[in-house]
Amino acid sequence: MEQREAAATGEPCMRVDAVAKATGRARYTDDYVMAGMCYARYVRSPIAHGYASKIDCTEAKALNGVLAVFTWEDVPEIPFATAGHAWTLDAGKRDVADRLLLTRHVRHYGDGVAIVVARDELTAEKAALLVKVEWEELPVITTPHAALAEDAVAIHPSGNTLKYSEIMAGDPVKVIADAEHQVSGHYQTPVIQHCHMEGVTSFAWMEEDARITIVSSTQIPHIVRRVVAQALDIAWSRIRVIKPYVGGGFGNKQDVLEEPMAAFLTLKLGGIPVKVMLSREECFTATRTRHAFTIDGQLGISRDGILKGYMLDVLSNTGAYASHGHSIAAAGGNKIPYLYPRIAFGYRATTCYTNLPSAGAMRGYGAPQVVFALEAMLDDAAAELGIDPVEIRLRNAAREGDLNPVNQKVILSAGLPECLIQGREIFEWDKRKEACQGQQGNLRRGVGVACFSYTSNTWPVGVEISGARLLLNQDGTINVQSGATEIGQGADTVFSQMVAETVGVLVSSVRVISTQDTDVTPFDPGAFASRQSYVAAPALRQAALQMREKILHHAALMLHQSAMNLTLNRGDVVLTERPNAPLLSVADIAMDAFYHPERGGQLSAEASVKTTTNPPAFGCTFVDLTVDVDLCKITINRILNMHDSGHILNPVLAEGQVHGGMGMGIGWSIFEEMIIDEKTGVVRNPNLLDYKMPTMLDLPELECGFVDTHEPQSAYGHKSLGEPPIIPVAAAIRNAVRMATGVAINTLPLTPKRLFSEFREAGLI
C-alpha cells in the first residue's frame, strides 16, 4: 500500500532537515567564513579566585600576525546579564548583571582576563600563551556551605547569596508533622556539562555605520541581540544576530556566551570579522554547567500512601557568575507542584555564588534535581509503608480537574495515571518486581519508577510571545519564518506540520526558514523551557488561518465562486461538498495572484501572539537494573519512559526527543560529573576523554510510550516534551538500586566510586 504524504500534526513524517543534515549540507556557524576573518583566543585564569595583579602583553603584541590584545582595562565597564530570558519591563524580575567582558577579579578557573586577536587561530593561541599575568590569590570557595559562612570572602560586591525565595501552599510544616508517617532525606546532585556536539562559536563584523552582525550558535538569537546591545550600550536595532543550524544546545546556548565579545572585538577593530570559537576545554570551564543542588526534604503521608504534604529546602550552587542563577532553583519549585497536587507544599531555595564555573540553564532547568529528591522520598515512603511504588504514585498523581496548589490553575489534561497504568503493563512491572524479591548474591536486580511534571513555557514568570510569517511561493509552496529556533529538537518539522494542517496542504509544501535573522525574523525569545511547540503554535496557526483564507479568497475570484463554498484539501482547492474533486491547486492560485495583471498580489500572513496559559506535561520512567555489588556497577536491563505531552505532533520525532532525554538522564544518574578540586577550584576533567559521558555503547535500548491526551488550552492539543524525558530517570534508577540492594543512595551520580563508599557504609561490602 502506498504511504500517503503527511499533511497534518500527529503524522510520523521525516524531519524536514534530515537530508540537509545527513548529507552534510546543513551549514553550522563554523561553516560561515568571511574574507579577512580574524580569530580570537582568551587568556584565562589558572586560579579559581583572585586578582590579576600585573599583565604584560608586549611579547604577544609583537608576534607577527597579532592584531590586538585587549585586557580588562579595555572593555566597557557595563555589567551585563547573560541569562537567556525574555526581557521584562519589571526591573525587579530582571537577571542579575554581574559580568564584564574581561575581568581583573577572576572568579573561576578559566575566567577571562585578556583576549588576543590574530590573523589565524594558531597565532592567536601562541600569542595568548605569551601574555604574562601575575596573580594575587584569594580564598577559593567551592560549596554553598563555604560561601554562606560568616567569614567567607565576597565573590561579588553584593555578597555570596545571589537570592532566596520561598513558595508555600497550605501549611506544609504542620501538615507533615500531623501526618501518620514522615520521611526525610538529604540529596545532592553533581555539576555536569551539556556536551553539545557543536561547540560555542560566534563571529561578528560591522556592516554599516556601527551596525554589528553576529553569526552564532545560539538557542536565543533575539535575546542575544538585546544582551549584546546592553553589554555594549548601543541601540538594540544596531545589532543583528543570525542563527544557522545548531548542533545541540541543551540550555548552554540559552545563555549569551561569546556574542558580546565577538561584537566588542569587531567594534574595536574597525569592523573586521572576528571569530570567537571556544575549545571543548573552554566549553567545560568557561561556558555554563548544570547547577549542583543540595536538598533537604521532608514528607508527610498517610499509612495508606496518601501524600499529605512535602517540603524541600534547596541550596543551589551557581558558581562564579549569576547567569540563570536563582531562576533555576526557583523554577524547580514551580514545575513540581502539578505532580501530586492534592497536598500542602513548601519550597525554600537559596542560590549562592562560589568559585566554580558558572552554572546556567540545562535541560530540565532545576526539575531533575527537585524530582530526584521528591521521588526518592516518596519511594522510601512506599517501601516503609509496604505499598507498591507504582501504586503509591497512582494514589497521588494529578488528575483532570485538580488544582495546582500554588497557583490554583486547574489541570485540564492529566495523563499521568494512564502513563503509570499503561507503563506498568508494557514494562511488566509486577513480574519484574516479583523477580527482585529475596536476592542475596553479588548480582542483584531492582526495578524502580519515578514521575515528574513539567510546564510548557515560562508564563507567568516570563512574557511568552511568538511570531510567525507565511509567504506563498509561485509553485504553491509556503515559506515559514518563525523566531522559534530549531536546535536539533525537530521544531522546524512540527512547525511545518502545523502549517500544513491548518492551511490544508502537504507537509512537503511547507518550508520553514531555519536560519533566524533578527533583522527580519518575527520576534520570539527562542528555544528554552520546552516552550517552542506550545508557544509558537498559536502564532503559526493564526498566520496559517489567514493564509488559508487568502488562498480561498483568491481561488473564489478565479472560480467565480463564493469563498464560503471552498475549502483546501491536501494542496487543492475543492468544493466543500466535493472534497475529492480538485478545482485548482495552490500553485495555480499562487501564479494568478503573483502574475495576473490586476488582481491579487503576493499572498502572505503574519501573526505575533502572546501566550498566557502554561499546562503541565507529565510522565514517568520505569527501570529494571542489575547491580554488581562487588564491582559497584549498575547495568540497566530495561528502561521505559511514558509521557503525557498532550497530542503528539510527530510520533517519530517525539520518540527521538525522549530517547535523547533518557540517554542524558542516564548520564546524569550514573556516569557524568565535573570533577572540581574542592580546594583549588580547578576542573580536573574538562574534556570528553576524562569526562564520562555515555556513548551509544554505554546505553541500553531506550523505550518509550505516549499517552495521547488533548490539552484544550493548546493550539494543537499538545504540551511540552523537550526537557521532560530527562527528569524522572535518576530517581527511577536510584529507586531501583535501593530495591536491589537495600541501600538508598541520595547523591548523584551513582558511579562505582559512589556505590563503593555507600555500599561500604551500609555494610554491603
Contact footprint for a copy of itself (CB under 8 A): 17, 19-20, 23, 25-27, 31-35, 86-89, 206-209, 226, 235-237, 271, 460, 463, 465, 467, 469, 471, 473-475, 477, 479, 481, 511, 513, 519-520, 522-523, 591-592, 594-604, 606-610, 612
Closest distance between a copy of itself and the C-beta of residue 223, in Å? 11
Nearer to a copy of itself, 477 or 533 (CB): 477
Rounded Cα distance between 451 and 421, Å, is 12
Least CB distance to a copy of itself at residue 514 (A): 9
The C-alpha atoms of residue 154 and residue 177 are separated, in whole angstroms, by 38
| Smallest distance from a copy of itself to CB 106, Å | 33
What single-letter amino acid sits at 514? S
Nearer to a copy of itself (CB atom), residue 55 or residue 83: 83
Task: Give min distance, CB of 596 to a copy of itself, in A.
Answer: 7
In whole angstroms, how close is the CB of 202 to a copy of itself at the nearest point?
A: 17
Q: How far is the CB of 224 from a copy of itself (least distance, A)?
A: 13
**Cα radius of gyration (the chain):** 27
The residue type found at 178 is D
Least Cβ distance, residue 674 to a copy of itself (angstroms)? 33
The sign one gets for the Cα dihedral 393, 395, 396, 402 is positive
Minimal distance in Å, beta carbon 620 to a copy of itself? 33
Specify the residue, 34 or 394, whose C-beta has the smaller distance to a copy of itself.
Answer: 34
Instruction: State the Cα–Cα distance between residues 571 and 467, nearest whole angstrom.
Output: 24
Pairing of strands 510-512, 478-482: parallel
Taking the complex as a whole, how short is the minimal distance between the CB of residue 662 and a copy of itself, in angstroms? 29
Our CB check for a copy of itself shows the closer of 459 and 691 to be 459
Cα 417 from Cα 429, distance rounded (Å): 15
Q: In angstroms, give the least distance from the CB of 208 to a copy of itself.
A: 4
Q: Which is nearer to a copy of itself, 460 or 579 (CB)?
A: 460
Q: Where are the alpha helices (DSSP H) in 164-220?
A: 172-178
Q: How far apart are CA 476 and CA 489, in angstroms?
A: 27
Kind and range of the H or E run holding 636: strand 633-644
CA-based nearest residue to 215, from 270, 275, 156: 275
Cα–Cα nearest to 127, from 201, 171, 62: 62
Q: Which residues pair with 294 in a beta bridge?
A: 188, 315
- Looking at beta carbons only, is 171 or 207 nearer to a copy of itself? 207
Q: 524: closest CA among 461, 473, 457? A: 457
C-alpha 40: how far from its chain's center? 28
Strands of the sheet containing 510-512, edge to edge, are: 510-512, 478-482, 465-472, 604-610
- 51 versus 236: smaller Cβ distance to a copy of itself: 236
| C-alpha cell read off for 264 | 566588542
Instruction: Report in angstroms how near the CB of residue 599 gets to a copy of itself at its nearest.
Output: 8
CB burial readout 134-164, b (16+ within 10 A) else e: ebeebebbbbbebbbeeebeebbeeebebbe
572: closest CA among 559, 558, 583? 583
CB-based contact 707:643 (threshold 8 Å): yes
Contact between residue 539 and residue 502 where contact means Cβ atoms under 8 Å apart: no
- Output the smallest distance, CB 14 to a copy of itself, in A: 11
Q: With respect to a copy of itself, which residue has the nearer C-beta, 599 or 684?
A: 599
Closest to a copy of itself by CB, 213 vs 735, is 213
For residues 385 and 513, which CB has a smaller minimum distance to a copy of itself in the complex? 513
Minimum distance of a copy of itself from residue 721's CB (angstroms): 25
Q: Which of 191, 289, 259, 15 is nearest to 747 (CA)?
A: 191
Cβ count within 10 A of residue 599: 10
Q: Which lies closer to a copy of itself via its Cβ, residue 85 or residue 718? A: 85
Pick 229 or 676: Cβ nearer a copy of itself: 229
Strands 633-644 and 702-706: parallel
Give the separation between CA 92 and CA 599, rounded to whole angstroms: 53
Report the nearest approach of a copy of itself to the CB of residue 31 (Å): 6
| Closest approach of a copy of itself to the CB of residue 559, in Å | 16
Cell of 381: 515512603
Nearer CB in complex with a copy of itself: 52/206: 206
- CA-to-CA dists, residue 278 to 50, 85, 261, 284, 664, angstroms: 23, 23, 12, 10, 23
Closest CB to a copy of itself among residues 245, 706: 245
Q: Which of 271, 267, 261 is nearest to 227 (CA)?
A: 261
What is the distance between the alpha carbons of residues 290 and 263, in angstroms, rounded to a whole number?
27
CB 496 to a copy of itself: min, Å: 13
For residue 166, which amino acid is it? E
Which residue lies nearer to a copy of itself by CB, 271 or 341?
271
Q: Which residue number, 234 or 556, has a Cβ lying nearer to a copy of itself? A: 234
Distance set, CA 623 to CA 25, 188, 424 (Å): 39, 21, 11
Neighbour count for residue 177 (Cβ, 10 Å)? 13
Compute the distance between CA of residue 40 and CA of residue 551 in angstroms, rounded to an integer. Answer: 50
Q: Which of residues 150 and 209 has its CB atom nearest to a copy of itself in the complex? A: 209
**Whole-angstrom Cα distance, residue 297 to residue 317?**
17
Tell the smallest beta-carbon distance from residue 124 to a copy of itself (Å): 18
